[in-house]
Chains A and B, each alone.
Chain A
Amino acid sequence: MKNKIYLSSFSAILEEGIYDDSGLKNWDKDQIGPQDIKREQVLNKPYLNFGKLSLADKLAFSAASLSLTKSDYVNKENMGICLGISTGSFSTDCRYIETVISGFPSPSIFSATLPSSSITDVAIYFGIKGPNRVCANGLDSGITAFELAINLIEFGKTDSVLILIVNSIESVDKNIPLILPEIPKNNFAFSFILTSKKPHISPAFAIELKIKKTNKLMNNDNAELYFKEFINSVLLKKDANIKGVWKTFESEIILKKEE
């Protein structure tokens, strides 16, 4: 008998602004989009390392911070993190190569070239010590991370997971030929905290995920719109079945309210 899985909190950082359980806050006048996110919008105390973070790492940290501070879940020691990032950052790779060419390879930029670096600051700052999964398989990385998170809870390896879904793209990335059919052209980040303990919010949402293999190649849905539909249902306090089509499989996230 599987335990139920609940949504403990969520956040999103999108073109139009920042979402959390109180709804949407639009960007300030001096901000164009997620790439301009400020520390004070996601964390209410100074954080020296915020400026060091690459864009991908900053978006992941920001989304994580927004939902962690809202979640009533306390045991972060055993919380897992599942990161779904479209790809490692080509622009960070180039930035690193430039330091090599200059004769002074940069250790901090090198460590930021790993796709897994987006988990690191989150884990250190918030003390999150459970299992980790980093998926970097293009457009379906987010739904994959979601599924891996559910697997972790179903197998009892943890009772909570922070899911981070990030797409970061900078000007250098936009110049890579042939890349863009797979990668969305705008920056976004989502975070969801799933737990097996029913949270003290009303209504609480129970989550179920169904994956169906299709074994034929299809066009991916837009991951940003997919997860935005999820968030909108939660904000509107409505049950929902969020269906998505990915390259070789279909997904359905089922949201059911429990008072």
Chain B
Amino acid sequence: MEDLILKLKEQIIKTLKLSDIKPEDINTDAPLIGSGLGLDSIDTLELLVLLEKEYGITVPDVNTGRQVFSSVRALANYIQQNTVKEK
């Protein structure tokens, strides 16, 4: 789980091209959108693209989306719950 959390932080920084920030600067339990990391709705849409591309997960609706992006930990939990057991 901790590996996934670190990987997500790196992916968020890389996908959104955030500058002046390292993975260790992102608080795992802080909000991602608005306050906390301060992402906007376009960033959210980019993260939805990331979920699809890297994890094959499609978020079904806006409300789930809000929950999923409420923190890095929430995102990691969602991915673990929705990843099909492989191979």
* Cα distance A207–B67 in the bound complex, in angstroms: 54
Q: Does A39 contact B (CB under 8 A)?
A: yes
* Cα distance A46–B19 in the bound complex, in angstroms: 8
* Cα distance A157–B55 in the bound complex, in angstroms: 51
Q: Let me know if A52 and B20 touch, CB within 8 A.
A: no
Q: Does B29 contact A (CB under 8 A)?
A: no
* Cα distance A116–B53 in the bound complex, in angstroms: 29
Of chain A, the residue at the smallest CB distance from B43 is: A108
Interface residues in B, total, Cβ within 8 A: 15
Q: Does A73 contact B (CB under 8 A)?
A: no
Q: Let me know if A48 and B46 touch, CB within 8 A.
A: no
Query: Which bucket holds chain A's interface residue count?
Result: 10 to 19
* Cα distance A48–B38 in the bound complex, in angstroms: 9
Of chain B, the residue at the smallest CB distance from A47 is: B20
Which of A46, A52, A111 has a CB less than 8 Å from the CB of B16?
A52
Residues of B within 8 A of A107 (CB): 42, 45-46, 49
Which A residues are closer than 8 A to B by beta carbons?
Answer: 39, 46-52, 104, 106-108, 111
Which B residues are closer than 8 A to A by beta carbons?
Answer: 16-21, 37-38, 42-43, 45-46, 49, 52-53
Add 16 more A-B contacts to A47-B19, A49-B18, A49-B19 (CB < 8 A). A39-B19, A46-B19, A46-B21, A47-B20, A48-B20, A48-B21, A51-B18, A52-B17, A104-B49, A104-B53, A106-B46, A106-B49, A107-B42, A107-B46, A108-B16, A108-B45
